[in-house]
Chain A
Amino acid sequence: MPYDLNRYDGFAPANFREESPFKIHGGCGLMGICDESGALMSGEVPILAMAVQRDRGNGLGGGFAGYGIYPAFPDHFCFHMMYHDLRAKEEAEAILDRHFLIEVAEPMPTRPVKGITGAPLLWRYFMTPHTHMLEERDVSAEDYVVGVVMLVNSRVDGAFVASSGKNMGAFKGVGYPEEIGHYFRLEEYEGHTWVGHNRFPTNTPGWWGGAHPFTLLDWSIVHNGEISSYGINSRYLEQFGYTCSLGTDTEVAAYLFDLLLRRHKLPVELACKALAAPLWDEIDRMPADAAALMRSLRAVYGPGMLNGPFAIVLGFNGGMVALNDRIKLRPLVAARSGAVIMVASEESAIRTVLPAPDEVWTPKAGEPVIARVAGMEPPFHSQLHASPAEISCAMTAVEAACHAEEVVA
């Protein structure tokens, strides 16, 4: 397919992977939906939910992640790629080709949308790791994939892996979410779980990769609010080897989930209690065993506690977790309609999709709303052994993060 490079003129290379030495501020709107029966929903569903929340964003970032969207390739890793130019594409594809058996390589299906400009080259690949390379290196497929993501992000100038999981994908860019959804022809996909995000940055590097959701392997994360404890959260994570180079709360939240769920093996309910800890007075009123557990969680994970207003949705293959800050400073509404669980910043978003839900409620501060597709794995990558430095590099592609540790080719 011929590409007109002039089309990407508005996209300065320097901005492609921008590291921010500063905290980035902003507000947002979000949604998450999961059919616990595993039934599939059209990609129009998350678009609808985000479209009525348009006023929560400012057109500088919108995005979605869908799960179960590639039933034809359920066991293939699917890379959604962003390229600045053809050279970057060639270089990145050479790496992918060396590491994977590429079943399908194709441009992301898109359509022109008024107001969406400066899109990078968008491609997707359905691939399986070369078995002999897994054996030679004695690594799990998940470790292998994260390694390749890092390699592409760090070695190829102008290439960014937007998502890298199985049977899932992220669709994001600079624009309002409904425009981005239309651009990516989301109505052509069906998924059992979707998350969506509308960004209102007050200071943005303005690149497509910087839109939400953030992803790694199967995980995706969207976030609304501003974490006032960013300074200590990022230093705490750095102690474990993560590099917080984007200056965004989302990045910090993603690493904290990686630390708590995957590395420290906390169940998701307790990880949420560490991130949005109960007040000491509440802990003191708990029965002795629960109080001892909570006191320890809070004392140990205090530097990781997310303080300040936030609402977060973590999507994974098989469900989602939505979490609010501990004194409910950002809106979050939840609903159940049959097997469908949905959360959003506003009730109107829910009623657009589920006009007559069985119940609608405001989740309690710090108490997660958890949805799980029946029969699917819990939300951590049990076969992934990547170090925090590797996670940082893979998720952000920022040079500083990728130099934190020499990446193994």
Chain B
Amino acid sequence: MQQSFVQPEFRVKIDYDKCHKCGRCVQQCGWGVYDFNERPVPHDEKCRACHRCVTFCPAHCITIEKNTLAFRDNDNWSTDARKAVWKQAETGGVLLTSMGNPKPYERIFDKLLLDACQVTNPSIDPLREPMELRTYLGRKPDNVEIVPDGNGGFKLAEGAGVHHNIKLDTPIIFSPMSYGSVSLNVHRSLAMAAERCGILMNTGEGGLHEDLYPYQDNVIVQVASGRFGVSPEYLQRGAAIEIKIGQGAKPGIGGHLPGEKIDREVSATRMIPQGSDAISPAPHHDIYSIEDLRQLIYALKEASGYKPVGVKIAAVHNVAAIASGIVRAGADYVYLDGFRGGTGAAPAVIRDHIGIPIEIAIAVVDQRLREEGIRNQASIIAAGSIRSSADAAKAIALGADVVAIGTAALLALGCHLCQSCHTGKCSWGITTQKPELTRRIDPEWGAERLTNLVHAWSHELQEILGALGVNAVESLRGSRERLRAVGLDEQTCRILGVKPAGL
């Protein structure tokens, strides 16, 4: 083979004076960076900078550096752009990558600031006074019909009130990540954490492994175009059912889980033969239009005893109209995935150039549903790079009912965002099915870390609510009056429904 023009991205440096020559790095690295010849010898070109070896080296003698080769300056032809051309010239392939869009598009969350109370209304102490995060996910009626209860009081009229809603203890849930793209231990960790936090995990499109049955009340089961693992039992086990139309990282395209990742367990869960590729078509071939979506929504309701059915879409240009159609088609929630959302594998050109920011999507969908008087008919779940409780609070203030976290959850489990999930060699044991790697995540340990994260963010949300002087999250939800923009243009402010700071 010809010599590649693409030089290694990183340099692995070992301080051999300190090195114990124990071989731990060789054993830890999933990418095969190290050979061992009396001492570890790194092959830089294989390194993904995932820091697994760095973290577990007992001598702390490994550092990973950027390969700072100088290129002739060219603002137009970035180094990455040149490398991409070389790679494609060498291989003829579509460039594949993972996790969310890393490009320097504007991050709107970072240009929004929250309000706080001073004098005219009091801030509320979140630690000692009630500070309610409980959220009901699902369709709500326009009003509450009541009848006299015969004792001088009132009760709900027959059939009135809120039904088929899911109680969440905090408005943060885990986003869909399929078993297959992530390991079973990751699924177990997510499910256990969801139960402990009173929230939901989401199967993604890879079916529900029987180990997760005990946690089924905290699980959203997903139905995607590949229909992997979808059976009446699957539908009846979930707390809610989600139709996956699209994903923020790769709107409009399907998926492809390579046969080598389809081991016995994945095969059984997805209900497909071992070793064969699991291909998700780009569209659902029973949904070519909105009325078909309605048909599928009601088929799922019929099959599940009228569990809540949500629809997940990627945030694209016409998202408001699409979401309105979804609500009118009978969905109990709309899941909006912004263009920075993560993925286990996607063509870089798709991930990096398609979709719109989640902030904009929340704003236009919430506003559109209000204008049409149907905002109460569905909840809005927002995802696509919720990086902190601050992002969550801002998303909720823009109009989201709930936020979903995927990348943040994986970070909690050790992910270092090396963007190599598609290789199936994740050294942290997250996005791999290799037994020697997947065993690196102990579900109990994983669940504790995820629970810690959700609890910490929930505490922070309570602190934010307290500063805002409200003691229930529904009083922040859609309250854009409590947001101000710094450095956003007038048009974007108008679309967001947020005033610039100072007004």
Q: Are A235 and B479 in contact (CB under 8 A)?
A: yes
The reply to whether A303 and B477 form a contact with Cβ atoms under 8 Å apart is: yes
| Contact flag A327-B370 (CB < 8 Å), given A23-B481, A303-B477 | no
Contacts A238-B370, A264-B143, A329-B122 hold; do A300 and B503 have CB atoms under 8 A apart? no
B469 within 8 A of A: yes
**Residue of A226, A232, A292, A299 touching B478 (CB-CB under 8 A):** A232
**Segment at the interface with A among B82-90, B149-157, B381-389, B408-416:** B149-157
Query: A308 touches which one: B121, B134, B146, B155 (CB < 8 A)?
Result: B121
Is B482's beta carbon under 8 Å from chain A?
Answer: yes
Indicate whether A225 sits within 8 Å of B121 (C-beta atoms), given known contacts A299-B136, A300-B376: yes
Name the residue in A231, A279, A297, A298 with the highest tally of chain B Cβ atoms < 10 Å from its Cβ: A231
Within 8 A of B (CB), among A196-241: 202, 225-232, 234-236, 238-240
Query: Is A400 part of the binding interface, using a Cβ–Cβ cutoff of 8 Å?
Result: no
A383 at the binding interface (Cβ < 8 Å):
no
Instruction: Give residues 449-503 of B contacting A (CB, 8 Å).
Output: 468-472, 474-482, 503
**Cβ contact within 8 Å between A280 and B132:** yes
* Complex interface residues of chain A between 1 and 33 (CB less than 8 A to chain B): 21-23, 25-27
In the complex, which residues 240-267 of chain A have their Cβ closer than 8 Å to any Cβ of chain B?
Answer: 240, 264, 266-267
The 5 nearest A-B residue pairs measured at CB: A231-B481, A231-B479, A296-B161, A302-B474, A307-B475
**Residue of B with least CB distance to A302:** B474
- Nearest chain A CB to B307 CB, angstrom units: 17
Q: Provide the bound-state CA to CA distance between A300 and B503, in Å.
A: 31
Q: Can you list 14 residue pairs at the A/B interface with Cβ under 8 Å?
A: A226-B121, A231-B397, A231-B482, A270-B154, A280-B132, A293-B161, A295-B161, A296-B156, A296-B160, A300-B161, A300-B376, A302-B475, A302-B477, A305-B472
Residue contact A231 to B480, C-beta cutoff 8 Å? yes
A240's contact among B154, B373, B470, by CB below 8 Å, is which? B373
Contacts of A100 in B (CB 8 A): none
Per the 8 Å Cβ criterion, residues 123-151 of B in contact with A are 124, 129-130, 132, 134, 136, 140-144, 146, 149
**Among candidates B141, B154, B376, B468, residue contacting A228 with C-beta atoms closer than 8 Å:** B468
> B162 to A307, Cβ gap below 8 A?
no
B386-397 CB contact bits vs A (8 Å, 1 = yes)? Answer: 000000000001
- Interface flag for B280 (CB, 8 Å): no
Q: Which residues from chain A contact B468 at a C-beta distance below 8 Å?
A: 228
Contacts of A231 in B (CB 8 A): 397, 478-482
Q: Which of B129, B144, B482 contacts A296 (CB 8 A)?
A: B144
Contact A296 B474 (CB under 8 A): no
Which residues of chain A are within 8 angstroms of B375 by Cβ–Cβ distance? Answer: 239
Select A327's contact among B376, B471, B475, beta carbons within 8 Å. B471
- Shortest distance between the CB of A279 and any CB in chain B (Å): 5
Name the residue of chain A whose CB is nearest to the CB of B476.
Answer: A232
Q: Is the CB of A289 within 8 A of B143?
A: no
Q: Give complex CA distance A39, B130 in Å.
A: 43
Alpha-carbon distance between A215 and B121 when the two chains are bound, in angstroms: 25
Decide if B117 is an interface residue (CB 8 Å cutoff). Answer: yes
Considering only residues 299-329 of chain A, those with a C-beta below 8 Å from chain B are: 299-303, 305, 307-309, 326-327, 329
Instruction: Name which residue of chain B comes closest to A264, CB basis.
Output: B143
Is there an interface contact between A228 and B474, defined as CB atoms closer than 8 Å? no
Q: Which residues of B contact A293 (CB under 8 A)?
A: 144, 146, 154-156, 161
CB distance from A18 to the nearest CB of B (A): 16
With A and B bound together, what is the CA distance between A231 and B370 in angstroms? Answer: 14
Q: Is the pair B143, A305 in contact by a Cβ cutoff of 8 Å?
A: no
B132 to chain A: closest CB distance in Å? 6
How many A residues touch B, CB cutoff 8 Å?
51
Given contact pairs A235-B480, A296-B160, A228 touches B470 in the complex (Cβ within 8 A): yes
Q: Is B236 in contact with chain A by the CB < 8 A criterion?
A: no
CB pair A27–B474 under 8 Å, yes or no, is: no
Q: How far is the CB of B205 from chain A (nearest CB, A)?
A: 30
Find chain A residues with CB under 8 A from B420 CB.
none
A256 to chain B, nearest CB (A): 13
Chain A hits for B481, CB < 8 A: 23, 230-232, 234
B165 within 8 A of A: yes
B68 within 8 A of A: no
Known: A295-B162, A327-B471. Contact between A239 and B370, CB under 8 A?
Answer: yes
Interface status of B120 (Cβ within 8 A of chain A): yes
CB distance B165 to A299 under 8 Å? yes
In the bound complex, residues from chain A placing their C-beta under 8 Å from that of B371 are 239
B contact residues around A298 at 8 Å (CB): 474
Bound Cα distance A300, B143 (Å): 7
Question: Of B146, B149, B469, B479, which is in contact with the most chain A CB atoms at under 10 Å from its CB?
Answer: B479
Complex CA gap A309/B122 in Å reads: 8
Judge whether B154 and A267 touch: CB under 8 Å: yes
A234 (CB) vs chain B CBs: closest residue? B481
Q: Is the CB of A300 within 8 A of B141?
A: yes
Q: Are B121 and A309 in contact (CB under 8 A)?
A: yes
A228-B469, A235-B370, A293-B154 known; 6 new pairs, CB 8 Å cut-off, are A228-B475, A238-B370, A300-B140, A303-B477, A305-B474, A326-B471
Query: CB distance B120 to A27 under 8 Å?
Result: yes
A280, closest chain B residue (CB): B134
A281 at the interface (CB under 8 A from B): yes
Q: List B contacts of A290 (CB < 8 A).
A: 153, 155
Q: Is the CB of B474 within 8 A of A202?
A: no
Contacts of A308 in B (CB 8 A): 121-122, 469-470, 475
Asked if residues A22 and B161 are in contact (CB atoms below 8 Å), the reply is no
- Would A228 and B121 count as touching, CB distance under 8 A? yes
Question: Which of B470, B480, B503 has most chain A Cβ within 10 Å?
Answer: B470
- Least Cβ distance of A408 to chain B in Å? 22
List B contacts of A327 (CB < 8 A): 124, 129-130, 471
Which A residues are CB-close (under 8 A) to B141? 296, 300
Q: Which among B146, B371, B375, B468 has the greatest number of chain A C-beta atoms within 10 A?
A: B146
A225 contact set on B, CB distance < 8 A: 121
Contact B474 A289 (CB under 8 A): no
Q: With A and B bound together, what is the CA distance between A235 and B149 in angstroms? A: 33
Q: Is the CB of A226 within 8 A of B472?
A: no
The answer to whether A267 and B146 have CB atoms under 8 Å apart is yes
A-contacting residues, B85-121, CB 8 Å: 117, 120-121
Is B122's CB under 8 angstroms from A301's CB?
no
- Assess the B130–A281 pair: CB atoms within 8 A: yes
Q: Contact: A239 with B373, CB < 8 Å? A: yes
Select from chain B the residue with minimum beta-carbon distance to A231: B481
A64 vs B121: C-alpha distance in the bound complex, in angstroms?
24
Q: How far is the CA of A295 from the CA of B481 in the complex (A)?
A: 27
B-side contacts of A300, CB under 8 Å: 140-144, 161-162, 376
In the bound assembly, the distance between CA atoms of A238 and B497 in angstroms comes to 14
Most chain B Cβ neighbours within 10 Å, of A26, A232, A270 = A232
Residues of A close to B154: CB separation below 8 A: 267, 269-270, 293
A residues less than 8 Å from B482 (CB atoms): 231
Residues of B within 8 A of A21 (CB): 503
Q: In whole angstroms, what is the CA distance A231 to B469 when docked?
A: 12
Closest-CB distance, B483 to chain A (whole angstroms): 9
Nearest CB of A to B415, in Å: 34
Interface string of B406-431 (1 = CB under 8 A from A): 00000000000000000000000000
